[in-house]
Each structure stands twice: as structure tokens, then as C-alpha cells.
Amino acid sequence: MTLLEIDNVTYTYKTKYQSVDALRGISCVFEEGRVYAVVGKSGSGKSTLLYLMAGLDVPGGGQVIYDGKATSGMDLNKYRRESVAVIYQDFRLFPLLTVSENITYPMELRGIKGEPARRRARELVEKVSLPESVLHRFPGMLSGGEQQRVAIARSLSTDTRIILADEPTGNLDGENGDRIIDILVKLAHEENYLIIIATHDTGILPKADVILRIVDGALA
């Protein structure tokens, strides 16, 4: 089932001195249960596309459509909180919160607190193949691969159906990068998540269901 659609989307960055057309009329559909790899050179527009799908802004032209509704007509704060989760290259965990607190933080924003939230955190670290003992550690006590798995667990705590991953293997070695991609593929194929990965990592491509190549802001 189509969950997210990009319809003739354009986006322009403007400064005092110039305008740069980052996206030029991109259209595509994204279905549940599939892994999409968005690839292209630096500056091609792939991160801008994820930026718009994450609800951090709306297109200059065209529409990002989630579950049949354009994000331009939505409360974007609510959309980001309830409908989409983002995983970043640099993990973006809160360094002064424990792993458990990092995972339960999005739940608390939605009113889920106390033991129900902690129980869900225990379930999620198991889902990403981490021992329960990591829940009481701080992110700085974990390896990069472990931190990225915590970031995935946190993204799952929001109960969204869409996970956007911006260079999720960029700070990891090959083995840990493969492990992260295998977790994301499993979430798509076994639990029907929509996974969209913007990446330079060509090792991801054989595991993707669909590859979207962006060149100079347009789909190649």
C-alpha cells in the first residue's frame, strides 16, 4: 500500500547572493514493506528530499503526501511526532540520558510514561539485538554500532510506519554498517515498515527493493 508520495516536488535554497534549485520536479511513490535507497552525489538533493519527507519544511512546489494528505496542510510538529521517524549518521542521542531514557523520551511526549514506557524500551532493545543491560548505560559508553541500534529502537518507540535514514552507516565500519542495514531490511520485510535510506554506501544497494538515483535535483 502506498504510504508516502512525492508529487512534482521542487525546492529552492535562497541566499542574499544566489538561488539553488535543490529539487526539480521529483515524483515517486513509497510503499509499506519495502526498502528504498536514495543515492546521488553530495549536493544532488537526496538529503533535501528526506528533509521534506521528514516534515522539516514543505516543498516550494508540488506536494509531499502522507496517507492521502499533503504535509503542507498538516500540523508539521504533530506529523514529525507521530508519523515519521528519522535516523541520522551521527546518532543524535541525548548524551546525558541513559539508553532507556533516550528510547522512552518520544513516548513521554505522547503521554506514555513510567513502567509501560520502560517495558516498551526493554522490548525494543531486544528487537535491535542489544542486551537489556544497555538500558542503564549512557550513549558514550557504547560503540558506534550500538548507538545506531539505540537510535533505531528510539525511532520504533513512536509507533510510526515510516523510518527515514540519512547516511545511517556513514560513521560505522563495514560489519556494523551491514548489521544496521539488515535490521532495517528486516523491519520492512517482516513488520511492514516503510524504510527510506539516503546513502553514499553502495553496499546497501543489493539489499534495497527500489533504488532511486538523484542527479542535480532530478530523478535519473
Which tens digit of pLDDT belongs to each residue from 145-161? 999 999 999 999 988 99
Element (DSSP H or E) covering residue 22: strand 19-31
Does the pLDDT at position 1 exceed 90? no
Question: Which CATH number is 1-83+160-220's, of 3.40.1190.10, 3.40.50.300, 3.40.50.11260, 3.20.10.10?
Answer: 3.40.50.300
Angle between helices 144-156 and 174-191 (to 10 degrees): 20
pLDDT for position 133:
95
Residue by residue, DSSP assigns 188-199 as HHHH--EEEEEE
Which tens digit of pLDDT belongs to each residue from 93-137? 999 999 999 999 999 988 889 999 999 999 999 999 999 999 999
pLDDT for position 220:
86
pLDDT-based confidence at 16, cuts 50/70/90?
confident
| SS3 (DSSP) at 106 | helix
Domain spans, the chain: 1-83+160-220, 94-159
* Inter-residue contact 45 to 37 (CB < 8 Å): no
